[in-house]
Amino acid sequence: MKIARHAAALLLVLALMVPEAGALRLVKPTPPKPAPEPVAEAAEPLAPAKEAEPAAGEEADWKLLLVNPWNALPEDFSVELTTLASCGLKVDKRIQEDLDEMLSACREAGLRPLICSAYRTQAVQTRLYKNKISRLRAAGYSRESAEAEAGRWVAVPGTSEHQTGLALDIVSAGYQVLNKKQADTAEQKWLMEHCWEYGFILRYSSEKSEITGIGYEPWHYRYVGKEAALAMRDSGQCLEEYLEALEENSAKTRT
């Protein structure tokens, strides 16, 4: 009887220890976390990248600044001027040395070049332009015709090379009238032949008026630098044509 009671008690304990059907849960073992990827040692910092070299013609060259009836002076334009001891007029200080050498060589040839106009402020250019219009109006031109004609001889304010400090008017001391006869003076003949050696060009030749927008001025010289001056002398190009050729060559190299 005792044995039976012990067996029954044992069965009861075992029953209590066994979970009910459906209560069993299969638990998947948790996979181990992957080891973190190794961190590379910090590399030495890279040297800063160099700025790309601009293609030919892309970088603005102060010597080749184009100012004409269709290209006004940039709004942010500024120039450092120097006063010429020989005449009291001002030019861009970067052209002074070449200008002095050119005029000295001209004088050494027994000639008397005289600078009659150089750098002009906006106010001075405006006064000259208005005066030209007034004279044309007095000669019978209409307002519209006077303004158009004036612009061929005195640039509209803001479009004059004289405002760059890179241009100047040079005449013969023996003939100081600004007309076509200026080209017949010994001074102009010498300058036209030798100006390129010092980085200057005769800016407004008679055969290029339609391109430059300015009438023939055999007294107006413009500094462009010795390399460009030589190229324009050899090619016969004016500044507009030279710059257009530079742009075309630059476009070809980029393609």
Residue numbers annotated as active site: 217
Strand partners, 223: 200
Spatial separation of the C-alpha atoms in residues 25 and 27, rounded to whole Å = 6
Spatial separation of the C-alpha atoms in residues 147 and 130, rounded to whole Å = 9
Place of tokens 């304010």: 157
Spatial separation of the C-alpha atoms in residues 191 and 170, rounded to whole Å = 9
